[in-house]
Amino acid sequence: MPVELFGTLAQTLFKTMDRTGSTVDVPDLMERWTLDAIGKAGFGFDFHALEEPNNKWVMMYNSIMAGHEDRFYDYLPFLEQRFLWLFPGRRKLHQKLTEFLAMLDDIIVHKREALEKRIPNPHLQENEKDLLTLMIESELNGEGAMSNEELKSNLCVFFVAGHDTTANALSFAIYYLAANQDVQRKAREEVTRILGDEPVDVLPTVEQIKNMDYLNMVIKETLRLNSPAGEIFPRVVTQDTELAGTLLPKDTWVLLDIYNLHRNSRLWQNPDKFDPERFAPGNEAERKAGSGMYWIPFSSGARQCIGMNFSLAEQRVLLSMLLRKFTWTLPENSIHADELLSTNRPLQGPFDLEITFKKRY
């Protein structure tokens, strides 16, 4: 797991925060940080998202995702499939998507050239390889060849799932730590006990982040309340099936509503309350373990999110380094002063979240 890379990127984030001032747009910064992380660790490519305010990748991606906020085309997909010329706004979105895919093509071409010249990923340790390298090497070794189109499709999945969901999870965690100062203090006490409290950046190791039990509880509770993927993609029932007394006829589309599962009062005590202690040893979450799927922000089973450990490592490293370097609060005029406001299109994320940070060193 490239935790050293995550730590180095956290230091780059701190420099960006120095330039932006004490009150920052948290979702924007988290999106840029996770984009650089998946770029370097996943593709061996530096997006420079943190260093460039008008970064072309960030601007392009945000414009495409904004276009997906309109549910109209979800319900009537045939309109854009057959009559795209009638919808200039949607046509422009398709043009941007074509440009984006061409940019991904360039990444694949550059990676193939680097592998031919035996140039390693400069962002990872010698014993680590990025995802794109592994996919292309598998092709070269005859272990599952993929066309460029298939490679590009996989890059699209990793691009979205590998940065946007974690960015939203980090933004939610930063909000909850701002809104619950006692939790923030307790998390900081644990982090400084493990990493020390000297006035200098410390890059956590894999073993150190594994020992951050309370911080892990904070992350789990954040993901319970606000799983960035609030729904699991639908599945089609292949035969008539009875589930918990309900008949699901063949060809029915079934979708798992994670958001409401995690807030179900029949499953969780005070489900809308942010309480990391419910994940403490012997408490509510542990007692439920093994008795059903009560906590599934990454889904479960054979199709569980393959990036789960990558995402959790990102969150532990960045949050621990933030806790050592800063204290933070909601601004006095915050729209989130009374409650957290969020959006679920296209992914679950906080709405216009600004946080005021104060350096500890």
Per the annotation, binding residues are 305
Determine the 3-state secondary structure of 103 from DSSP.
helix
Distance CA 34, CA 49 (A): 9
Distance CA 12, CA 33 (A): 9
Q: What is the DSSP letter of 216?
A: H
Distance CA 197, CA 27 (A): 27
354-359: strand order across its sheet: 23-25, 354-359, 326-329
Q: What is the DSSP letter of 297?
A: B
243: β partners: 246
- Which residues contribute to the annotated binding site for heme? 305
Which string of DSSP letters, residue by residue, matches 157-210?
HHHHHTTHHHHHHHHHHHHHHHH-HHHHHHHHHHHHHHH---SS-----HHHHH
